[in-house]
Amino acid sequence: MANRPARPKLLVEPFAGGANISLSAVHGNMVDKAEFSELDRDVAAAWKSILNGHAVWLAEKVRRFPIGRRNVILHLEQKPATLHERAFHCLLRNRTARGGVIADGAGLIRKGEDGMGVRSRWYPKTISDRITAISAFREKLNFFQCDGFKLIQKHKHKKTALFFVDPPYTKAARRLYRHWDIDHERLFQVLHQVKGDVLMTYDDTREVRCWAREYGFQVKTIAMRTTHHTTKRELMISKSFGWLKTPPKPKRQASTRSGSN
């Protein structure tokens, strides 16, 4: 976004999950507005609560919750009665489950960081402050509980829109998400038709590379660290990488020592 000649009007993030890209873009004043979507009912409850009036309640609940393995298990066994209670349920599971996975059957952290177990990723002040901060610029954020394809179709004719698409991956999605089964080739077809710029992230597979080539996308390989602290290859996919500017290498300074090197 920073490398574009003109300020983009809208960022579109289907399959948003935690919507880190939308939040960062709006918070960094790189885009006028962000629209993002998520189909999972628990994640949707969190976004609806934060953006539609229950951010204060949610932040206070996070600060006051007595974290501990027994309390977490007991709370997660309860059925949420309201939307904002479901939102807290989602946050609690995300911060205490292994790898942050909220899908059914995901286990809780056992040892965690420094042997702290379920406490290792539960930072009540930080989490509650983030909830409050997100709520403060909610006028620039539009959330929709819908299939990501619908959000793409809504904005596909807008040349000033940017699309960041991080779908459920072809390999690991089944164990990570409730709504993991999408038509990956159709996603490439739809994004090929949009007027705005596109950046996708994907797992590096032969099928994904074939779809990218078939529908006219460029591909770059990047390295990323997993939750298990291993490095794996992923793909960045875009119509063009002209916006991706590599910082210049520092010039080599001449030696200040006298005599020969």
Tell me what the pLDDT averaged over the chain comes to.
85
pTM for the model stands at: 0.83
1 inside domain: no
Q: How confident is the model at residue 120 (pLDDT cuts 50, 70, 90)?
A: confident
**Cα-Cα-Cα-Cα dihedral sign, residues 54, 82, 173, 77:** positive
Bridge partners (DSSP) of residue 225 are 231
What is the predicted pLDDT for the residue at 173? 45
Higher pLDDT among residues 196 and 119, named by residue: 196
- pLDDT of residue 25 exceeding 90, the answer is yes
Range of the structural domain that residue 104 is part of: 10-238
251 inside domain: no
CA distance 46 to 44: 5
Higher pLDDT among residues 251 and 103, named by residue: 103
- pLDDT of residue 15 exceeding 80, the answer is yes
- pLDDT of residue 193 exceeding 80, the answer is yes
Collect all residues with Cβ–Cβ distance below 8 Å to 40 and sequence separation of at least 6. Answer: 102, 177, 178, 179
62 inside domain: yes
Query: Which position has the token pair 């390999």?
Result: 171
Higher pLDDT among residues 118 and 57, named by residue: 57
Buried b (16+ CB within 10 A) or exposed e, 178-208: ebeebebeebbebbeebebbbbbbbbbeeeb
Bridge partners (DSSP) of residue 235 are 202, 221
247 inside domain: no
% pLDDT > 70, the chain: 81
- pLDDT of residue 225 exceeding 60, the answer is yes
What is the predicted pLDDT for the residue at 107? 73
Per-residue pLDDT tens for 139-192? Answer: 999 999 999 999 999 999 999 999 999 998 766 544 444 545 689 999 999 999
Q: How many domains does the chain fold into?
A: 1
Q: How confident is the model at residue 249 (pLDDT cuts 50, 70, 90)?
A: low
What is the predicted pLDDT for the residue at 231? 72
Per-residue pLDDT tens for 91-115? Answer: 999 888 876 666 666 677 777 666 6
219 inside domain: yes
208 inside domain: yes
63 inside domain: yes
% pLDDT > 90, the chain: 62
Higher pLDDT among residues 54 and 229, named by residue: 54
224 inside domain: yes
What is the predicted pLDDT for the residue at 253? 44
Choice among 31-40, 94-103, 232-241, 244-253 with the minimum mean pLDDT: 244-253
Buried b (16+ CB within 10 A) or exposed e, 135-161: beebebbbbbeebbbebbebbbeeeeb
The CATH number linked to 129 is 3.40.50.150
